[in-house]
Structures are given as C-alpha cells and as structure tokens.
Amino acid sequence: MLKTTLVATTTLLALTQFASASSDSAWNALFAKANGTCIGQSRMVSPEATAPVVFDDSTGKVAILLREKSGKSKKLVNLICLYDKKSGKASIAEYQWLGQ
C-alpha cells in the first residue's frame, strides 16, 4: 500500500511539473506581444531591442531594453520597457548609464 501511494504521488508530481511548463510557442507568442507593445509605445522608428528578460511569476513582468539614435543630433536614446504579462500593458522610461 505504501509503495503504491509513493509511486502514485511521484507520478502525480512529475506530471504536474510538465503541465505547468509553457511551450516554446507560448513563450515566443509572449515575447512577440511584449516586443510589439514596447516598440509601439516607444515611438521609435527602428530601435534595437534586447531579448526579453523574464522576471519571476510574483512580479509578472518582462523587461525589454530599447535604443535608437534619434533626430539630427544622432543622440543615443535608451529606453526600458516593463511589460505586464497579465494586463498586456507596458510602462516605458528613459534611462542613462552611470557616468555617461
């Protein structure tokens, strides 16, 4: 009886882990949506974007860094975008490297 319970519990835990894992296509869809939202809200014409940085589930955010040389001055503009996975909304702020 104990052996059967142990095997059943181990099997259930193993299956639960696989059920909660997201597929590659789900991650790619999330990243595409985050990139599109962030780039759209940035109003940049042709920005360079980093790969998305995924925070843990308690935060529920994906961060993307964007940069582009703007206008006639060709000044480099750096933006950070935090995309909320639940709401689909993004917050954008400009940032500068320390010492620059």
pLDDT of residue 49: 94
At position 6, the amino acid (one-letter code) is L
DSSP state of 22: P
Instruction: Please give the model's pTM, rounded to 2 decimal places.
Output: 0.72
**Residue 69 Rama label (left phi>0; alpha psi -120 to 50; beta):** beta
- Residue-wise pLDDT for 56-76, tens only, equals 989 999 999 999 997 777 889
Residues 30-44 pLDDT 10s: 999 999 999 999 999
User: Position 16: which residue type?
Assistant: T
CB atoms within 10 A of CB 83: 26
- How much is the pLDDT for 21? 62
Contact call for residues 4 and 43 (beta carbons, < 8 A): no
